[in-house]
Amino acid sequence: MKNDYQFVDGTRLSTVIEALIFASDEPISGQKIRAIIVDNEEQIEITEETVSDFVDKLNDRYDKNGLSFRIERIAKGYTFVTQKKFHYWLSIFQHENAYRKLSQSAIESLAIVAYKQPITKPEVDQIRGVDSGYILRQLMEKALIEVSGRSDSPGKPLLYTTTNHFLRHFGINSVNELPKPREIEEILKDDDMAEHRQLLLEHSMIMDEEEDTAESGDSVVNEDLDIEETAEEINKEHSKDEEE
């Protein structure tokens, strides 16, 4: 690559950037990549724009060589993803496990939070027509939503928003990239989606039966208190992990 700085050990700036992105468990920001390199190499000074330029050059190399992956900016950081043309094959491989993780009820509630955030549990309940406490706790345990404060409405119910993990889970950089309702309708009307919709329906029916059983035995008394306790427990677990 043009103007690709070479370190003493023979490695190139481009491959160092590539290695940092590859090794990171979650999307790594251009700012962090820059800091790691500049703080540990006195002979070089780069900017976040430099990192972005090298990511573009790496992607050009991947495309020219017909590789199945590329680097994308997701959740305010860089991460490796597979090329879109391989998504069909991956969906066959991942379909069953993916929909065991999120049931139809969970996806429905998550969509409401994503599109209406910040939103309270009573507002989610009103839209769904059923109590959503159990589902919201599940989504919190999966780190897809979080408590972001309290509403000014009577009783000051908790407010829910999506998390950075939500962005990573769905491969987007911000909630503004979520498809518009009209776009979703067009996708669902596409004849090519017929088989996929049938698989979704079959899995959601199984998962709904399991969750209906769980929800029927779940107490709805002091629901916000229960969820708040869940949030505190999750935060404690995250704090322990960070300390370790």
Handedness of CA 113, 176, 168, 92 (dihedral sign): positive
Q: Is residue 109 part of a domain?
A: yes
Q: What is the pLDDT of residues 199-220, one digit of tens each?
A: 445 444 444 444 455 444 444 4
Q: How far apart are the first and last CA of the chain?
A: 39
CB-count exposure of residue 33 (10 Å: 0-12, 13-18, 19+)? buried
Q: Is residue 217 part of a domain?
A: yes
Q: What is residue 184's predicted lDDT score, i.e. its pLDDT?
A: 62
Same-domain status, 143 and 129: yes
Provide the residue range defining the domain that includes 199. Answer: 87-243
Q: What is residue 170's predicted lDDT score, i.e. its pLDDT?
A: 79
How many domains does the chain contain in total?
A: 2
Same-domain status, 187 and 132: yes
Q: Is residue 3 part of a domain?
A: no
- Output the domain CATH number for residue 200: 1.10.10.10
- Candidates 133, 122, 101, 152; CA nearest to 231 is 133
Same-domain status, 49 and 98: no
Kindly compute the dihedral angle of the four CA atoms of residues 102, 103, 107, 112, in this order, to the nearest 10 degrees.
Answer: -130
Which residue do the tokens 């994503």 mark?
114
Last residue of a domain, one of 82, 103, 132: 82
Q: What are phi and psi of 228, to 5 degrees?
A: -65, -40
DSSP state of 85: G
Same-domain status, 58 and 102: no
Same-domain status, 224 and 107: yes
DSSP state of 42: T
User: Which spans in 146-193 are helix H?
Assistant: 164-170, 181-189
Q: How many CA atoms lie within 13 A of 163 on its CB side?
A: 13
Q: Is residue 8 part of a domain?
A: no
Distance CA 107, CA 20 (A): 33
Q: What are phi and psi of 57, to 5 degrees?
A: -70, -40
Whole-prediction pTM: 0.52
- Candidates 175, 34, 47; CA nearest to 112 is 175
Same-domain status, 152 and 75: no
- Other C-beta atoms within 10 Å of 20: how many? 16
The pair of structure tokens assigned to 193 is: 């989606």
Last residue of a domain, one of 55, 82, 109: 82
Angle between helices 133-141 and 104-116 (to 10 degrees): 80
Residue type, 62: Y
CB 21 within 8 A of CB 30: no
Q: What is residue 67's predicted lDDT score, i.e. its pLDDT?
A: 95
C-alpha distances in angstroms, 186 versus 114, 171, 183, 194?
Answer: 20, 20, 5, 12
Q: What is residue 219's predicted lDDT score, i.e. its pLDDT?
A: 40
Q: What is residue 59's predicted lDDT score, i.e. its pLDDT?
A: 97
What is the mean pLDDT, run by run of 10 residues, along the chain of 244 residues? 80 96 96 95 91 96 95 94 86 58 84 93 93 92 91 91 87 85 62 51 47 47 52 55 49
Q: What is residue 234's predicted lDDT score, i.e. its pLDDT?
A: 56
Last residue of a domain, one of 67, 82, 97: 82
Same-domain status, 75 and 114: no
**HEC sequence for 216-229:** HCCCCCCHHHHHHH
